Each structure stands twice: as structure tokens, then as C-alpha cells.
Chains A and B, each alone.
Chain A
């Protein structure tokens, strides 16, 4: 890639941040050039972001219908999954899985609620509510 080919496609996922990429200058030297992004990156990044957003909105629908818990929604909203939430709270996965159910969530003690709220970086009130 030469420096004139360094993509400057205004990649939306970068939100104006320019990243450094190495490219060949006219004198043959490899130099670091600021890039506004490549559509290829935008496609694969948005693919990953969209997958996370879909999980969150599916969880929101089921939480509102009463077949899922707000915890499940907030877990996906914060881009986590079962494994990461379990690691972040220090709880066993089977326990977290139980708390993701509406019944299990309803029985949560104040202490466990605060453990989850902490791990997700939100307040207990937020954790119990849905947007």
C-alpha cells in the first residue's frame, strides 16, 4: 500500500478518530500515516456492533414481555455475555443463568443486586428498570 492509497473513507465507527497505518511513501520509505478509516473495517466493526445491539434489543423485548429479566437486557446492553458477567461478578455461571430468568431476578437480594449493578457500571434502580 502506498501513502496515496491509505483509505480516508470517513469510517463512521471511528467517530472522527484517525488511526495510524504504515504505508509506502514516494521515496520507498514505510511511514506512519493518519487514516480516516477503511470501509472494510467499518463493515466488519458494524457487523459486530449490530450483533450486540440485536442481542440487547431481543432481550429488551422479552424482558418487557415478562419472559426475560432486566439483568439480561443490561448484560447485553453493556456488551457482555454470560461468561464475562459471571467473571465480572465472581459468581458461578449457573447462578448468573438463574438470575437471568425473571423469577430468579425477582428473588435477588439487595447485596446481589449491587454486585450486578457494580459489574455493569449502573445503579441498582437502573438495573431494575428498562428503558
Chain B
């Protein structure tokens, strides 16, 4: 069969189950693993890789704004699952776009479901107002039909399609976090289930991240950002843009609300069952309330941005500092609850 004929042959994994998820990376990797027979939810994938975070990275700019992340950097979730599941993942990037396309087609022809990193902007199935130049998006390709790739994008309720030229552009977009055609898939998987000790280890690791000494990460990162907000002038377009940007990072696509706090609460509930420690379920309830506080912070900020309330950087800084104080105490309790027996 020549190349042209092979490209016309539709390939699709008919057994593949799409899942609507709160976050692209945890959604993609949990779908990919379930397809391989691992019993894992999105929340478990997120928690088991210790992905919850807060980071204020003023030196990484996106559209002139500093990066404010409520989770660990891209690929942290996938890589973080390797050890607890005793799995290995293949990651491939390409210097030549054509090679990246050929490799994707080859893997699909082998019957694999493949994860991709991509830009959001160049994916035509996204609504216009959601299309920004953000390169850290993740999606799954489960087949191909004619010139269309069959895509499971966790942001969407159902599967979507994308023409090959558009997907190609999205995979090889340039700029911060440039994907370079990155694709990934599991090579070997040792455990088909989640071990209690791995869950406790992941919780302790996450507490360490949140309570750690780096001034821009975790609780200290929140305090530093609060300090930065407090210094902003009340009457300035830049202030509006800056605080609005923080909320976009917290509530926009792919956080499941409240900067992942609700997703992590869902994980803690599962963790309570897996480890047989009901205390973790109580802490899940606490974290849900903490998440409500983050949403109150978002609401207060949006009202000021919109001019319904007077812009008051001091008040926003206080709300953020309050989150820092509450989370500092919470993660100490969580660390204690996840101690080895």
C-alpha cells in the first residue's frame, strides 16, 4: 500500500471512552490510562502526581503578563504518575513538523491512542473568545478519518474533529512553552491500581511543595503576590489588567474552579477510601471551603474590574493573604494526616 492510500484508510480506536474533565493534562492522562486498563479517575491522577500548587512567576510572560499557576508545570502530572503506577511513558518532540505528523500517523496506525501538547489558539474547534496563544494545552488523538483527526479534548463534553493542517499548526506553534510537536503514550504499566502508600506519599510531597521555602511557590508565593498587589495604584488600567489576569489564571478553562482546590478535594475523598483514613475525607471538606474562599476572591476582583465596586488593591491583597494563612494551616494538618503509620 502506498503512502497516499494508507492516509485515506480511516483508523479509530472504537473502544476509546471520551471523558469531560476539569483540567486538560489530568483529563488526558487519566483517559489514556483507563484505555490501557488502569482504574484511575481524573482527580486521582491529579492528586497522585502531587500537582496542586501555587506559583507566581514574574519572569515568564504571556501576552505581557506574569505567569500565575495554581498547579505544577506541564508534564508534571504525567511524569508524576510514572513511579506510583510503575509505568514508563514515551515523550517525543520533533524538529521537523513533517516528521511529527508522520510519527503520529504511524502510532495511530499501530492502534495507539496518543497524547499531544498543543497551542489553544490554532485549534478551530475552540470558541473564538477562548483562543489565546497558550501552548500548554493537552489533547488525545484516538483516530483519523480522511483529512480529519478524531480528537478527545477533555475541555469538551464530546469528541471533536480537527483538520490535519490545523492540528499541525497547533502542534508546532512557537512562543513560551512551545510544544515542538510533543506527543506521548504509555509504554509499559506495572500497576493497574492505586497503592495506598503511593497516595500518602503523594500527599506528603504536595504538602512539601505548598509549605516549601521557595519565595515564589506555595504559601510564600501567595504572600509575595499579595505584596505585589498591595503596591498597585488604585486608579490605573494596568492594575485592572493585572488583577483580572490573576483571576483568569485561577478560573479560566482547565482548573475545575477555585484554582484546582475542588479537584484536589475530590482526590482527598478518594484517598480516604484507598488508604482507609477517614480523616482525609474531613480534610477534603475543609479544602472545599477553602476553595469557596478562592472563589470569593475571584468574585471581589471581578466586581472591581467591572467597576461595580471601587478598585481597592489593599482589600484584594488582604483576601489573598487570608487564603495564604488558611492554606498554611491546612497543609500542616494534611501533612500530619498523611504520616506513615
Contact = CB atoms under 8 A, between A and B. Distances in A.
A18 B157 contact: yes
Interface stretch (B143-151, B213-221, B262-270, B314-322): B262-270
Nearest to A40: B302
Interface in A11-61: 12-24, 28-32, 34-35, 38-41, 43-49, 51-52
Contact of B20 (A20, A28, A47): A20
A79 interface: yes
Contacts of A39: 302
Contacts of B248: 41, 44-45, 48
B155 interface: yes
Interface bin, chain B: 35 or more
Given A13-B127, A22-B256, A44 B305 contact: yes
Nearest to A38: B251
Interface stretch (B70-78, B104-112, B128-136, B204-212): B128-136
Contacts, number: 132
A84 interface: yes
A1 B157 contact: no
B85 interface: no
Nearest to B129: A13
B174 interface: yes
Contacts of A13: 127, 129-130
Contacts of A40: 247, 251, 295, 298-299, 301-302
Contacts of A123: none
Contacts of B306: 43
Nearest to B266: A30
Contact of B295 (A1, A49, A81): A1
B100 interface: no
A88 interface: yes
A89 B129 CA distance: 24
Contacts of B132: 48, 79
Contacts of B128: 15
A37 B232 CA distance: 29
Given A13-B130, A47-B305, A48-B248, A30 B43 contact: yes
A43 B130 contact: no
Contact of A84 (B21, B174, B252): B174
B301 to A, nearest CB: 8
- Interface SS majority for chain B: helix
B245 interface: yes
A80 interface: yes
Given A34-B157, A44-B245, A48-B248, A84 B175 contact: yes
A20 B21 contact: yes
17 contacts: A13-B127, A20-B154, A22-B262, A22-B263, A23-B257, A32-B22, A32-B256, A40-B251, A40-B302, A41-B248, A44-B247, A46-B129, A47-B244, A48-B132, A79-B133, A81-B63, A119-B174
Interface of A: 1, 12-24, 28-32, 34-35, 38-41, 43-49, 51-52, 79-81, 83-84, 87-88, 119, 121
Interface of B: 20-22, 42-43, 61, 63-64, 121-122, 127-133, 154-157, 169, 173-175, 178, 240-241, 244-245, 247-248, 251-253, 256-258, 262-263, 265-266, 269, 284-285, 288, 291-292, 295, 298-299, 301-302, 305-306
Given A40-B299, A45-B248, 7 more contacts: A1-B291, A13-B127, A20-B20, A40-B301, A44-B251, A47-B241, A84-B174
